[in-house]
Amino acid sequence: MDPDSLNMGKFQLELYLNELTRKLPVGFGNLGNLTSLEYFDASTNYLNGDLSEIRFLNQQVSLQLFKNEFTGELQAELDEFKKLVNVSLHTNKLTGQLSEKLGCKNVEIMSRSRPIALKPEAAQENSGMSESFGVP
């Protein structure tokens, strides 16, 4: 039976706390049903490199990549994530700001201590946010 022919709905992949190292493999986000993945948690590992391989995971509702060693610019990879509700990227070496083009305007970004609102009217509530995660 062809696994791609199964309409299995929402997918979740949890790889947290596995001491994973290295970069996400080339083509990672474009493997089979991973393009339908809605919940991805690879937090608390030693993953590194940039976030370019997650660009195909744009059906994400929740993206948890905190406590890794990711580097590079944030903005471009997340702009097309239309369903994103929760993203946690703290304790990485990422730079830049989250774009206003980020698909969902009700995204909650988890800082080290509390959620960070991305709604324009909530900008005042975001004081104390990590310098790496500015809100334009």
28-75 pLDDT, tens digit per residue, is 878 877 888 999 999 999 999 999 888 888 899 999 999 999 998 886
pTM of the model: 0.71
18 vs 85, higher pLDDT: 18
Instruction: Provide the 8-state DSSP code for 40.
Output: E
- pLDDT band for position 18 (cuts 50, 70, 90): very high
- 3-state DSSP assignment of residue 119: coil
Is pLDDT of 112 > 60?
A: no
Q: Provide the token pair at 51.
A: 């976030």
Spell out the domain ranges in the chain.
3-124
- Fold adopted by 3-124: 3.80.10
Residues 87 and 63 sit within 8 Å (Cβ to Cβ): yes
Residue 47 · residue 69 · CB < 8 Å: yes
Question: What is the predicted pLDDT for the residue at 33?
Answer: 73
